[in-house]
Structure 1
Amino acid sequence: METEPKMYTKPLTEAIGKPASELTKADIIKYIEENDVKMVNFMYPAADGRLKTLNFVVNDSEYLDIILSYGERVDGSSLFPFIEAGSSDLYVVPRFRTAFIDPFSELPTMCFLCSYFNKDGDRLDNSPEYTLHKASKAFTEVTGMTFEAMGELEYYVISDDDEAFAATDQKGYHESGPFAKYNQFRMMCMQYIAQTGGQVKYGHSEVGNFTQDGKIYEQNEIEFLPTNAEDAADQLVLAKWIIRNLAYEYGVDVTFAPKITVGKAGSGMHVHMQIMKDGKNQMLENGVLSKTAKKAIAGMMLLAPSITAFGNTNPSSYLRLVPNQEAPTSVCWGDRNRSVLVRVPLGWTSKKDMSSQVNPLEKPIDVSSLQKQTVEMRSPDGSADVYQLLAGLAVACRIGFERRDALEIAERTYVNVNIHRAEYKEQTANLEHLPDSCMASAEKLREQRAAYEEFNVFSPGFIDGIINKLESYNDASLREELENNSGKMQELVKTYFYCG
């Protein structure tokens, strides 16, 4: 079932002795020469959300300096649908802060994530990575604060059936071995992610587990720590690449697909957000949720319907976003409430020293300065282009600060009940609902596109391309077509099995 794992090595930044943000070309070249690195890989996400790779042999120091300084040409028309074959060349230029040693390569190999540039040497306006950069910059210019994020990456591990210590169906949350079969696999994924610079918070088995057609399906989750939105997106993209590669070595399959069968838990990609100023979390004020946090939530309430265009990008997404199931469909928010769209999780606001209560030999600790409050958007899933998604969320939070009625919007969309329960139907009847298909999502993006195009965050052509892609699925009646048709649903699942 498992292969012998490679030896885990330290992150590159630890070996060089500098934080990633301070790495220079000279640092990179020195490390390559002193550690006999044989290959350099440029990596960059394309329109399908997956990382592409360009390999270089380290011929000599002059050639190494050239590729690190000037990047290389690539065929943009094979990477993005909005680039015409008649003028398709793009440059990819490495970002030194993203450097890491490839944990899978037999040859010592250093990898970089790259940015796209056009023929004039300017950042590619429609690149998802640059769009997120623009969104983060606009947020700071408007608010004077910094938008930070972290992702919760859910996925299923799929393997041949093992009847020993069979898991309880749909009861896998935080299960331990041997009832959870792939805890060790997940921990190796976490180590490799940390090796590439990912700031992992924790990992655990998730609710979903079942057997089907002689296969075990076991759901897992890896969650990250908050960081600036651009680094958060890089970490998620690399994490998917690592999980898939390690699964291949283990001889198992993995999927980030939103929904893979009827009646079983789907996989989301929840995003936690926090707003920072001068190194301090602005989400709390005197121990309660701040006006800053409520304004950001109000912006997400306003743009939630169109955020699905970035976070729920194929027809299988809308098999997960079904009323009265585990994923949210109503536009509302609440405290510690997992039935709402935006959840305010526990944030250590009691300011009580819980540790000393159960560890009486320890000295009391000061918890008054603890800053861990976030808010969580629960609709996105693994089909998302994470750069577009975080850019859309940054835009939404910024809009909350531009609206004078933001606090009123937050107040009227607050819910403190389980909206899935029938007895609260009247109380939640006036809430807006998320789109039920890619077609409906495209229409919402068309209606709200001006918010995303402000400050040239999303270019008009970029928005047009997203709308056209969503509409191309022609899935407005898909739910009805799939009702009581498990065969057709499995065909759909197979089509989008490796999404994102």
Structure 2
Amino acid sequence: MNIAGTISKFNRKPKFVQLIFVDVNGVPKGMEVPISRLEEAVETGIAFDGSSIPGFQGIEDSDLVFKADPDTYVEVPWDNVARVYGYIYKDNKPYPADPRGVLKNVLDELAKDGFKVYIGPEPEFYFFKKNGTWELEIPDFGGYFDILTLDRAREIRREIAEYMPAFGLTPEVLHHEVGKAQHEIDFRYDEALKTADNIVSFKYIVKAVAEMHGLYATFMPKPIYEMPGNGMHVHISLWKDGENIFKGEEGLSETALHFIGGILKHAKALTAVTNPTVNSYKRLVPGYEAPVYVSWGYRNRSVLIRVPAFWGNGARIEYRCPDPSANPYFAFAAIIKAGFDGIKHKIDPFAYVEENVYEMSEEKKAQLGIDILPSNLGEALEELEQDKVIKKALGGAYKNFIEYKRAEWEEYLDYLESKHLSKDTKRITEWELERYFFI
């Protein structure tokens, strides 16, 4: 493959290229090779030792090969390096625990019937001052949609947005979030695989620009107790033959409603994938905007699935519980398979409500069939182990995922026991900060 034309979009030619994949946690991993080896990385791949990659553990996984996807090649504007995503192979076959490969398998299956899934994410993050301790210092005191604040956060948001197009992301809305020093930059929706790549790139850009300004950026779901958590609402639409098949004559189509029904049916197991950390369940608590009740509605922001007021080709659903600690490849694969299970079995959505669910009595929630999401990672993993559809969505990565996350939960329980703390504590522990702050 001749890829010379893709190189040197800027005034200088990168000397190295980063070969990027993600581990079980969605954290970018990879290696740098001279730019002269890029074509080799595309055609035959670059061998590496995967035995120490989280979620790839095992001596039997030590000999892996990374093959670059040339369509993902970009050049980093602030550095003399390029980046490219790709797929992982073992013994000349796709490696089953490769997260990007897991999502591709799901999408390839849908493509046989002409379906395309488009996803638009809303990842939130915090800025903190660097001080060498876990006493997190807030650099700004703005609130939701504040414009005039006595800080430089708005300038940093703009700088992030200016860099995004170089990575193939189109920024759409920049704003301050509810929490002090909390921010959101939404970017254009795209096909599911591209959007998953974009989330990984976006987190890289945000963290790099924060570093340039002497700050830390964190996508940790709940970095500070009694402050809003970081969510990542995802907007989903399904297309076929160039048409949005979620649109109905008035509101959503029957297909869209069945897709919602599938997600609601598998919601508990889905949280193990869309909210995969101990810290995720410190965000999923009543009293904040993060949803905890399995329900849906049209304008209701207290429900799990909201239908935004956009019709025609803008018709879509908003799944509100995911957070940015999720591995986007696994999360999208699981959400899509849950939705298609609803379509396949014509599952009608249940627990429709337009009232504030948090203010509803337990009796009324029971009457409406409103269930509640797992309260911790351990419960979520138990739900996952009983859900054949979501397990199948993870394919060959399921065993690695469940074993890794079980060990993570047990390690946390051991930590709590050593500190004489309850597993139901909603306080943010140092164990969580050390493990999740930089994800």
Q: TM-score, normalised by structure 1?
A: 0.78
Q: 2:370 aligns with which of 431, 441, 452?
A: 431
- 2:125 counterpart of 1:186: no
Q: 2:76 aligns with which of 102, 119, 129?
A: 102
Note the C-alpha offset of 1:485: 8.6
SS in 1 for 2:315: coil
Deviation track 1:391-420 (CA, whole Å, cap 9, x = no partner) reads: 11111111111213x12xx1x321111101
Q: Contact (CA 8 Å) 2:412, 2:431: kept in 1 or not?
A: no
The aligned amino acid for 2:45 is: G
Note the C-alpha offset of 1:35: 5.2
Report the number of matched residues. 428
Note the C-alpha offset of 1:387: 0.8
Note the C-alpha offset of 1:298: 0.5
| Partner Cα separation in structure 1 for residue 140 and residue 168 of structure 2 | 35
| Partner Cα separation in structure 2 for residue 28 and residue 90 of structure 1 | 29
- 2:122 counterpart of 1:152: yes
Assess, with a 3 A threshold, how the Cα gap between structure 1 residues 469 and 232 changes in structure 2: closer, same or farther: farther
Q: Contact (CA 8 Å) 1:75, 1:89: kept in 2 or not?
A: yes
Q: 1:399 aligns with which of 303, 320, 341?
A: 341
2:84 corresponds in structure 1 to: 112
SS in 1 for 2:422: helix
| Partner Cα separation in structure 2 for residue 33 and residue 373 of structure 1 | 38
Give runs of aligned pairs for residues 329-348 of structure 1, distance below 5 A.
329-347=292-310
| Partner Cα separation in structure 1 for residue 10 and residue 163 of structure 2 | 23
SS in 1 for 2:224: coil
Note the C-alpha offset of 1:464: 3.9
Q: TM-score, normalised by structure 2?
A: 0.89
Bigger mean CA offset, 34-43 vs 263-272: 34-43
Assess, with a 3 A threshold, how the Cα gap between structure 1 residues 199 and 385 changes in structure 2: closer, same or farther: same
Note the C-alpha offset of 1:467: 5.2
SS in 1 for 2:147: coil
Q: Contact (CA 8 Å) 1:439, 1:474: kept in 2 or not?
A: no
2:49 corresponds in structure 1 to: 75
Note the C-alpha offset of 1:435: 0.6
Assess, with a 3 A threshold, how the Cα gap between structure 1 residues 473 and 32 changes in structure 2: closer, same or farther: same
Give runs of aligned pairs for residues 226-237 of structure 1, distance below 5 A.
226-237=189-200
Note the C-alpha offset of 1:159: 2.8
Note the C-alpha offset of 1:95: 0.5
1:26 corresponds in structure 2 to: 3
Note the C-alpha offset of 1:140: 3.9
| Partner Cα separation in structure 1 for residue 329 and residue 100 of structure 2 | 5
RMSD across aligned C-alpha pairs, in angstroms? 2.9
The aligned amino acid for 2:84 is: F
Q: Contact (CA 8 Å) 2:238, 2:245: kept in 1 or not?
A: yes
Note the C-alpha offset of 1:431: 1.4
Assess, with a 3 A threshold, how the Cα gap between structure 1 residues 456 and 43 changes in structure 2: closer, same or farther: closer
Q: Contact (CA 8 Å) 2:270, 2:390: kept in 1 or not?
A: no
1:10 corresponds in structure 2 to: none
- 2:439 counterpart of 1:495: no
Note the C-alpha offset of 1:166: 7.1
The aligned amino acid for 1:306 is: A
Assess, with a 3 A threshold, how the Cα gap between structure 1 residues 140 and 452 changes in structure 2: closer, same or farther: farther
Assess, with a 3 A threshold, how the Cα gap between structure 1 residues 463 and 83 changes in structure 2: closer, same or farther: closer
| Partner Cα separation in structure 1 for residue 413 and residue 260 of structure 2 | 30
| Partner Cα separation in structure 1 for residue 268 and residue 329 of structure 2 | 18
- 2:360 counterpart of 1:386: no
Q: 1:139 aligns with which of 110, 132, 145?
A: 110
The aligned amino acid for 1:377 is: Y
Note the C-alpha offset of 1:125: 1.1
Assess, with a 3 A threshold, how the Cα gap between structure 1 residues 316 and 87 changes in structure 2: closer, same or farther: closer
- 2:385 counterpart of 1:446: yes
Deviation track 1:285-327 (CA, whole Å, cap 9, x = no partner) reads: 1131111110110110011101111111221111111134321
| Partner Cα separation in structure 2 for residue 476 and residue 338 of structure 1 | 36
Assess, with a 3 A threshold, how the Cα gap between structure 1 residues 307 and 469 changes in structure 2: closer, same or farther: farther
| Partner Cα separation in structure 1 for residue 393 and residue 276 of structure 2 | 24
Q: Contact (CA 8 Å) 1:453, 1:460: kept in 2 or not?
A: yes
Q: Contact (CA 8 Å) 1:439, 1:475: kept in 2 or not?
A: no
SS in 1 for 2:178: strand
2:314 corresponds in structure 1 to: 372
| Partner Cα separation in structure 2 for residue 279 and residue 374 of structure 1 | 15
- 2:43 counterpart of 1:90: no
The aligned amino acid for 2:88 is: Y
Assess, with a 3 A threshold, how the Cα gap between structure 1 residues 33 and 103 changes in structure 2: closer, same or farther: closer
The aligned amino acid for 1:38 is: K
The aligned amino acid for 2:19 is: F
Bigger mean CA offset, 222-231 vs 173-182: 173-182
Unmatched segments (≥5 aa) in structure 2: 132-136
Q: Contact (CA 8 Å) 2:337, 2:393: kept in 1 or not?
A: no
2:244 corresponds in structure 1 to: 281
Paired-residue identity, %: 26
| Partner Cα separation in structure 2 for residue 387 and residue 149 of structure 1 | 12
Bigger mean CA offset, 177-186 vs 269-278: 177-186
2:209 corresponds in structure 1 to: 246
1:46 corresponds in structure 2 to: 23
Deviation track 1:418-441 (CA, whole Å, cap 9, x = no partner) reads: 10114x543213311111111101
Q: Contact (CA 8 Å) 2:351, 2:370: kept in 1 or not?
A: yes
| Partner Cα separation in structure 2 for residue 90 and residue 121 of structure 1 | 9
Unmatched segments (≥5 aa) in structure 1: 1-23, 210-217, 350-369
Assess, with a 3 A threshold, how the Cα gap between structure 1 residues 263 and 432 changes in structure 2: closer, same or farther: same
Q: Contact (CA 8 Å) 1:261, 1:490: kept in 2 or not?
A: no
| Partner Cα separation in structure 2 for residue 180 and residue 374 of structure 1 | 36
| Partner Cα separation in structure 2 for residue 99 and residue 414 of structure 1 | 44
| Partner Cα separation in structure 2 for residue 54 and residue 95 of structure 1 | 15
- 2:262 counterpart of 1:299: yes
1:413 corresponds in structure 2 to: 351
Give runs of aligned pairs for residues 454-493 of structure 1, distance below 5 A.
454=392, 457-458=395-396, 460-462=398-400, 464-465=402-403, 468-469=406-407, 471-473=409-411, 475=413, 481=422, 489-493=428-432
| Partner Cα separation in structure 2 for residue 250 and residue 34 of structure 1 | 25
Assess, with a 3 A threshold, how the Cα gap between structure 1 residues 418 and 179 changes in structure 2: closer, same or farther: farther
Give runs of aligned pairs for residues 57-68 of structure 1, distance below 5 A.
57-58=34-35, 63-68=37-42
2:101 corresponds in structure 1 to: 130
